[in-house]
Each structure stands twice: as structure tokens, then as C-alpha cells.
Amino acid sequence: MKKITFLVVIVSIIIIINSLTLPLNNFYLLVEGEEQSISTSSSINITDLLKVNNKNSNIQLENKTITYFENASGYLVYPTSASYMPTENNNTSSNNKLPAIVMIHEWWGLNDNIKNMANLLAKQGYVVLAVDLFNEVATSPERASELTKAIRDNPDNAISNLKSAVQYLKSLPNVNPDKIASLGWCFGGQQSLQLALNSEENPLAATVIYYGSLVTDPELISKIKWPILGIFGSQDKSIPVDTVNQFKEVLNAKGVPNEIHIYEGVGHAFANPSGDNYAPDETRDAWEKTITFLNKYLG
């Protein structure tokens, strides 16, 4: 009888343990599921990229919407003077002015993902102006295509927009006017290069291109007198590796300092967390290279 009672107790304990561990397992799976689903959004992308330099995670930012060109409003963000203490090792000049970035959106427009990236870069000690070339955010590929076509049909207006962004940054009291660069993804990468090709009179400090359409005309490339960072994917059908290599060859021939990185096995827009081609490891590495490049030439 004692053996039977003992067995009943053991079985009861096992049942109780199983009833407790099941919810724990379900909770673990729920957490895993949330992390997996979030990984396709901009929030996990930002969280991952913050690890590139988490010593700046506590830096406070100020942001505002400003008008910098005709009816175009941009997103301006920068570290507050109270939370960002300049040192000889970070991005400040002797009078504590900060370097600045003209950030250019993809074909979706100035959406939350671009604003998040602007915040992320501002935490590295930069004043960032995320421009708006569309005056709207596209919600479908069809509308995004229409908006980019309007830019292609009238490229001068986009260049004027970007040049005005540069001049706006130069006018700010907390910006070092000699330390301004541009950075863009996809459509924005193409526009980042176009700004470089049209800035002879007001040279930039650097240009960053994430898988943007390229120009390989030596005469045009010769207009650029500052460093270029290029980020591309080997499986990008819209920007073939041969074109990227030709671009690099022309840069070298014209004496333009450059760092061109081609990530194997990833396609176009691999750094966009909302896209099917999103590659988090390559995105993180590309961002590390971007920060290192900007610190080198704007620091």
C-alpha cells in the first residue's frame, strides 16, 4: 500500500511539473516568435545596429521637422550638448561643432525606418538631416515607382533639393561646415552619388552609397575630389558586380579615395529590414564599415 501511495505521489508531482513547464515552454516559444517576427521590422534592425557602438546608447537626441527647400520638410536630429561630451577621440572640431550628414531615403520616401537610421547615426555624434524628395511616403511599389520616375524626369529639382540640404546644415551653429557628407540607400544611394557629381563648387567631405545606381563615365567621376564608400550585394541584379568593379576602376584611375565592399550571396536592398532580401549580419557589418568610414573622414 505504501508503494502504491508513493507511486501516486510521484505521478502527481510529475503531472504538476509538466503543467508548470508547459506554460514556460509556451512563453519561450512566444518570445522566440516575437523576436523572429520583429527581425523583419526596422526596430530589431536598429537594436542590432546599436550594438555596433553601445557606449553611445545613452546619448540624448533632439529632433525636429524643418523646412530646408521650398515646400520640402526634412527630419533633423542631433545629440544634445548635455548628453554628448566631445573628446579628442570623437567627431568634433576644436570648437565643438559636429560633422553632419545629408541622409537620403529609398524609393519609399522619408518613412520611420529612415528616421530611425537618422537617430542611430546622430547617436554617433552627427547632425543628421533626413531629406524628403517626394513629400509623401509611398505605400505600394507602384506608387514608389511613380515617385522615382518623377525624379528621373526632373533630376535638377532633386539636385537643388539636396544642395539646399547641404546649405541648411552649413548654416547651423552646431555644425562644422567643412565636415558634411551624404548617405543614401537604393534610390537614395543613387541620389547620394548624384549630389557628389554636382557639388564641385561646394565640396563634400565624403559620400556613402548603399546599392545605388552608378555612373562610370570618367569625365563625370573626375568631378569628385573626396572619399567614396560603396556597399553592394553580389546578387543584386539591378547593379551587377561588373558595374561595381568598373565604378571602382574609374575611381582609382581618377585618384578618388574609395572603399568598395561587395557582400557575397545577398541581393539588392539587403539592409532594408522590411524587405525579402534583408540580411542582418551583412547589414550589421556594413553599418560598422559606414561608421568607421565616416569617423575617419569627418572625425
Q: What is the DSSP string of 100-133?
A: EEEEE--TT-S-HHHHHHHHHHHTTT-EEEE--S
Evaluate whether 68 touches 131 at the Cβ level (below 8 Å): yes
Indicate whether 81 and 20 sit together in one domain: no
Please give the average per-residue pLDDT across 247-261, as a whole number.
98
Q: Mean pLDDT in the chain?
A: 84
Indicate whether 244 and 270 sit together in one domain: yes
Going by DSSP bridges, is the β-strand pair 98-104/72-79 parallel, antiparallel, or unpaired? unpaired
pLDDT at 81: 73
Indicate whether 136 and 18 sit together in one domain: no
Indicate whether 244 and 154 sit together in one domain: yes
Indicate whether 115 and 5 sit together in one domain: no
Indicate whether 103 and 214 sit together in one domain: yes
Residue 37 vs residue 214, higher pLDDT: 214
Q: What total number of domains does the chain contain?
A: 2
Indicate whether 136 and 10 sit together in one domain: no
Indicate whether 18 and 128 sit together in one domain: no
For the ranges 44-48, 50-54, 95-99, 214-218, the maximum mean pLDDT occurs at 214-218
Indicate whether 136 and 25 sit together in one domain: no
Instruction: Reply yes or no on whether the pLDDT at 44 is more than 50.
Output: no
Please give the average per-residue pLDDT across 54-63, as a whole number.
82
Which DSSP state fits 239? Answer: S
Lowest pLDDT segment from 56-70, 177-191, 222-236 = 56-70
- CA 198-105-292 angle, 5° bins: 80
pLDDT at 58: 83
Instruction: Reply yes or no on whether the pLDDT at 50 is more than 80.
Output: no
51 — pLDDT class (breaks 50, 70, 90): low
- What CATH number should be reported for the domain holding residue 63? 3.40.50.1820
Evaluate whether 54 touches 287 at the Cβ level (below 8 Å): no
Indicate whether 186 and 238 sit together in one domain: yes
The pTM (predicted TM-score) of the whole model is: 0.82
SS3 content of the chain, % helix, strand, coil (to 5): 45, 20, 35
82 — pLDDT class (breaks 50, 70, 90): low
Q: What percent of the chain has pLDDT over 70?
A: 77
Task: Locate 52 and state its grid cell.
Answer: 555596433
Residue 52 vs residue 257, higher pLDDT: 257
State the sign of the Cα–Cα–Cα–Cα dihedral 241, 247, 253, 257.
Answer: negative
Q: Which residues contact 216 (CB under 8 A, 6 or more apart)?
A: 243, 246, 247, 250
Indicate whether 19 and 50 sit together in one domain: no
Please give the average per-residue pLDDT across 67-92, as a whole number.
76
Among 166, 173, 99, CA closest to 131: 166
Cβ neighbourhood burial of 262 (10 Å; 0-12, 13-18, 19+): middle
* Enclosing H/E stretch for 180: strand 175-185
CA distance 166 to 199: 10
168, 172, 176, 177 alpha-carbon torsion, rounded to 10°: 30
38 — pLDDT class (breaks 50, 70, 90): very low
Residue 136 vs residue 17, higher pLDDT: 136
Residue 255 vs residue 27, higher pLDDT: 255
Indicate whether 139 and 184 sit together in one domain: yes
- Report the 10 Å Cβ neighbour count for 42: 18
**Tens-digit pLDDT profile for residues 5-14:** 444 444 444 4
- CA 244-249-252 angle, 5° bins: 125
Evaluate whether 203 touches 233 at the Cβ level (below 8 Å): no
Q: Structural domain of residue 13, as residue ranges?
A: 1-38
Instruction: Reply yes or no on whether the pLDDT at 144 is more than 50.
Output: yes
